[in-house]
Amino acid sequence: ILPEKRKKRKKKENKKPKEKNQKMAQSSTYGNAKPENAIDGNRASNYNQGSCAHTNNDLNPWWRLDLLKTYKINTVTITNRQDCCPERINGAEIRIGNSLNDNGNANPRCAVISSIAAGASQTFACTGMEGRYINIVIPGRTEYLTLCEVEKKKPAAGITHSEM
């Protein structure tokens, strides 16, 4: 009996999230496309593969990553959906800061996404912007927001006070 219990515990340990010191949220959740899917380390860009975060058709839809403390962020890379509607991401903004005003969507803007090709990943320079929250928001319209992967990078070695 004891060895079986150990095996069960071991399986549970293997299911821990890749990055445990973060929290995710989004304006709503379409189906099972929870916000955690956007940072699962998987760039699979077909929605049906289960690796994309997806909101409902919201006014000003948003997705937020809470890093739990302030970090310097050098770049943010976003992978767009491949199997449908790549134009939905057009006009989205990446915002980084420490405020939760307007769900974090009022923080300073790193970039505006003019477009990302279907299934492609694009990197946006945030040049050491500091913040606890990384938001992606589509302002001013009712839309679905689909993010198949969001990756953040720390500044190059030698820059102090950076942990991300």
- Mean pLDDT per block of 10 residues along the chain (164 residues) reads 45 42 94 97 96 98 97 97 97 98 98 98 96 98 98 64 39
DSSP string spanning 8-61? HHHHHHHTS-SS-S-EEEES---TT--GGGGGSS-----GGGS--EE--SEES-
Question: What is the per-residue pLDDT for 22?
Answer: 87
- Cβ-proximal residues to 74 (8 Å cutoff; 6+ apart), any chain: 125, 126, 127, 128, 153, 154, 155, 156, 162
- Is 44 within a domain? yes
Task: Classify residue 36 by burial, with Cβ atoms within 10 Å: 0-12, 13-18, 19+.
Answer: middle
Question: What is the per-residue pLDDT for 155?
Answer: 66
Q: What is the C-alpha separation between 18 and 51, in angstroms, rounded?
A: 14
Q: What is the C-alpha separation between 89 and 147, in angstroms, rounded?
A: 8
Indicate the number of domains in the chain.
Answer: 1
Question: What is the per-residue pLDDT for 156?
Answer: 55
- Is 36 within a domain? yes
Q: What is the C-alpha separation between 124 and 113, in angstroms, rounded?
A: 9
Question: What is the per-residue pLDDT for 74?
Answer: 96
What global pTM score does this model have?
Answer: 0.83
Within 10 angstroms of residue 73's Cβ, the number of other Cβ atoms is 24
- Is 124 within a domain? yes
- Is 9 within a domain? no
- Is 61 within a domain? yes
- Is 55 within a domain? yes
Q: Closest Cα to residue 76, out of 28, 48, 116, 106?
A: 116
- Is 14 within a domain? no
Which backbone phi and psi does 121 adopt, to 5 degrees?
-115, 135
- Is 164 within a domain? no
Residue type, 111: A
Question: What is the per-residue pLDDT for 151?
Answer: 97
Question: What is the per-residue pLDDT for 21?
Answer: 75
CATH number (domain holding residue 40): 2.60.120.260
Which backbone phi and psi does 144 adopt, to 5 degrees?
-90, 135
Please give the residue range of the domain that contains residue 135.
22-153
Question: What is the per-residue pLDDT for 5?
Answer: 46
